[in-house]
A and B are shown apart, each in its own frame.
Chain A
């Protein structure tokens, strides 16, 4: 982490700005520090860098010309949506152009019969569902930041949400992405049909963190709004028991619309914030949502209740109406800001693990809290194994920051060790780039680099993100041994 402010090369800045001004209006090219500073970070504020130039195009043609210009001048380009990303994927280049897609805010086409919407990348995730709501439709992926995050960013990160166990991630709900390569060539990945000829480049583009192309249009698949939804809130006196309850729900042949867990410290933090009436005595709280037709929901809720009771739930409450359902959810959805209120700073992790290893990983995190002297409440997409431990720290203390980083690194590496991944939905960005060296072999990383070269031979699009260089991994390996961070033989391995 850090907030390095590399000196911007004024000559290059002048040259690039002037070139861009040849086809962009004055207000669409920012270079003075007071104008560029608001773009210095995304949702991961621990990393900041003031961009050399910010470009704010409004048309596809302008995007194309910006890319051609930068490609011609060998200047890096970093695309940015709403700037809510949590891995520093939109951290600006100190020697390049930050390409803000914020002005691409139009819904281009809406076909309620075919259940698709064609939208520009700057359209907010929640706005899509708002627009199509009168037709009884919605866009399923619902990341917690959905009121602010844009669909272009969702495509870059392959965003999930609390309902993705049943309804899938961005990759399952997007039919087509139109974009431009770094050379300024337009390209369509996927189509409005359910598949396209040849390789599934749509799957490759989604989650590519803006390294392969700049998205200018997204065709999303819309689903009929479920007739009704209800949520069960269950308390457990033991975190592992709650984990076993999750497995029992799945084993009973139920795929809930949402299945979330909060541990005691997380529950305490959110209860102070939203006053949803959570059980503050519980070691863990499970939220399990059922949606569908009224008949289906009634049947499923009864079955889930039975399973949870058998799994040892100490308290069970079922939402009686939609207001209560939303109240039950309010704390989980507001977990990050709620934690933000009890600590000067927090550091959110995003590892995914096989659900059966949950107890082991939570115990491991508990041991690290003691080791590093830092608190770490947990919220958890329990249904799909995606953990969001939140390390509480004070960024003004250099030492706490260092301990936080080491803590986080150990957690991510534990996720890999138990057969999971360092990032389930927030992306690698700059934040987890070193841990990529742990999760992947040199040959695998080289294949990622080869894929990148196919799309961007000069490596100008969002450089330094998502895929580490060979050099970086070598450096990391050396540091790793030196600082004595994992593998740590002295730590119990539960």
Chain B
């Protein structure tokens, strides 16, 4: 499939006012509001465009398998800094950026948007537009490429993306502690204020796991300071993969899964249901049947927002409603990029 094919498909759909559901491997079909429209499969537009390890940058087409990219980077001892979740087989780069979801390393190494350096976009008129580039620093024009991260494909078809990379940490080590949620939140915030090589954290049911990444000598010194019990490397790798991919037992079962994004300093959120904390307390997964309004109000009181991540019934809307001015800005931005409203309608917010 060529770029021209994709553009033609978009132009044709725009002409008919036909909604398009931009889709790679479909691993994130569950995310956001229900997908609608004719499927535009991006997997035919795949391949790494350029990869220069000494530039710490990779550029690839949207349909490229995320796994393939990670394998390629691994050979050069490099990683995607944000440790993206795949959520199933067949995840693509385009889907990864459009969903904007980051994994356990997010609190220390940044999110998808932080790694995005540039993108080529097919807009709702079928125009090919390039924003940003392949360099670390670039302030020419508005930062539209970062805006695309997490836009769920509603602004256009993300055809190609350039991402900043990091070297793979020289060593990793996972420590485990027994502590209450309150104690874990207090400890995580205190540690984050110290120069410690913490690269991931997860607390659930009285157990806190802490991952350290960096030079071997630094990990030894940090582990001495922190205490805790060492977790065997293989078990640790399995554990972090389970947290990242939601295959950990916490995520099993039918209860709705909420994602609460809060200031890390926010105390415990008193809502019924089980919680799993990540990102030093800034990300809280919640399994609850509680009313959506109640969950969202609690998140807002704590200074953050709540996303209905996985649930059979998303009639409450997947994402927290926006205040009127922000909603207006969203609608108008959407209209600027996609005048006919054909890209993933309703996926982010019902009104567009």
Residues of A within 8 A of B (CB): 111-116, 135-137, 157-158, 160, 164-165, 168-169, 171-172, 181, 185-188, 191-201, 203-204, 206-208, 212, 224-227, 247-248, 250-251, 253-255, 292-296, 298-300, 352-356, 381, 383-386, 419-428, 432, 436, 439-441, 443-444, 447-448, 450-451, 453-455, 466-467
Contact = CB atoms under 8 A, between A and B. Distances in A.
A165 to B, nearest CB: 7
Contact of A158 (B52, B139, B261): B139
Interface in B70-93: 77-78
A199 B151 contact: yes
A171 B139 CA distance: 11
A165 B54 CA distance: 13
Interface string B102-123: 0000110011011000000001
B214 interface: yes
Contacts of A135: 193
B136 A352 contact: yes
Contact of B139 (A207, A251, A298): A207
A172 B218 contact: no
Given A191-B305, A292-B195, 5 more contacts: A191-B304, A194-B261, A198-B326, A299-B216, A299-B218
9 contacts: A114-B189, A168-B110, A194-B106, A201-B147, A203-B113, A204-B144, A292-B218, A423-B139, A448-B142
A164 B348 CA distance: 33
B217 A295 contact: yes
Contacts of A185: 325
A64 to B, nearest CB: 13
- By Cβ-Cβ distance, the 10 closest A-B pairs, closest first, are A114-B265, A424-B137, A203-B146, A295-B217, A253-B167, A193-B304, A384-B136, A247-B54, A450-B336, A192-B263
Contact of A187 (B111, B140, B326, B349): B326
Contact of B137 (A181, A193, A381): A381
B332 interface: yes
Interface in B186-245: 189-190, 192-197, 214-218, 220-222
Contacts of A295: 215, 217-218, 220-221
B297 interface: no
B142 A204 contact: yes
Given A201-B326, A207-B142, A424-B138, A194 B279 contact: yes
B307 interface: yes
B193 A115 contact: yes
A298 B221 CA distance: 13
Contacts of B100: 195, 200
A435 to B, nearest CB: 8
A194 B282 CA distance: 7
Interface string B137-158: 1111111101101110001000
A75 B270 CA distance: 50
Contacts of A354: 52, 55, 57, 134-135
A424 B139 contact: yes
Contacts of A427: 139
Given A171-B143, A300-B215, A196 B329 contact: no
A224 B195 contact: yes
Contacts of A455: 329
A112 B217 contact: no
B347 to A, nearest CB: 12
B332 to A, nearest CB: 4
A256 B216 CA distance: 17
Given A172-B110, A447-B337, A193 B136 contact: no
Interface string B290-304: 000000000000011
A467 B193 contact: no
A440 B121 CA distance: 13
B179 to A, nearest CB: 17
Nearest to A467: B141
B18 interface: no
Nearest to B137: A424
A228 to B, nearest CB: 9
B27 interface: no
A451 B129 CA distance: 14
A64 B133 CA distance: 36
Contacts of A199: 147, 150-151, 155, 330, 333
Contacts of B221: 293-295
B261 A195 contact: yes
Contacts, number: 263
Nearest to A421: B138
A424 B135 contact: yes
Given A115-B192, A203-B143, A197 B167 contact: no
A136 B190 CA distance: 11
B130 interface: yes
B131 A426 contact: no
A223 to B, nearest CB: 8
Contacts of A248: 54
Nearest to A442: B127
Interface residues of B, number: 83
Nearest to B168: A253
Contacts of A353: 135
A447 B135 contact: no
A185 B326 CA distance: 11
B303 A193 contact: yes
Nearest to B332: A454
A243 B213 CA distance: 29
Given A198-B330, A296-B217, A428-B139, A224 B134 contact: no
A436 B217 contact: no
Given A185-B325, A187-B326, A385-B137, A197 B142 contact: no
Contacts of B155: 199
A300 B65 CA distance: 34
B322 interface: yes
B258 interface: no
Interface in B304-352: 304-305, 307, 319-320, 322, 325-326, 329-330, 332-333, 336-337, 348-349
B264 interface: yes
A296 B218 contact: yes
A154 to B, nearest CB: 11
A114 B264 contact: yes
Contacts of A192: 263, 303-304
A451 B304 contact: no
B137 A164 contact: yes
Contacts of A195: 100, 111, 150, 261
B305 A451 contact: no
Contacts of B137: 160, 164, 169, 352, 381, 384-386, 421, 424-425
A137 to B, nearest CB: 7
A198 B107 CA distance: 20
B166 interface: yes
Contacts of A169: 137
Contacts of B135: 352-354, 384-386, 419-421, 424
A459 to B, nearest CB: 15
B184 interface: no
B170 interface: yes
Given A199-B147, A421-B140, A114 B263 contact: yes
B283 interface: yes
A251 B54 contact: yes
B139 A426 contact: yes
Contacts of A381: 137
Contacts of B289: none
B96 interface: no
B111 A194 contact: yes
B159 interface: no
B44 interface: no
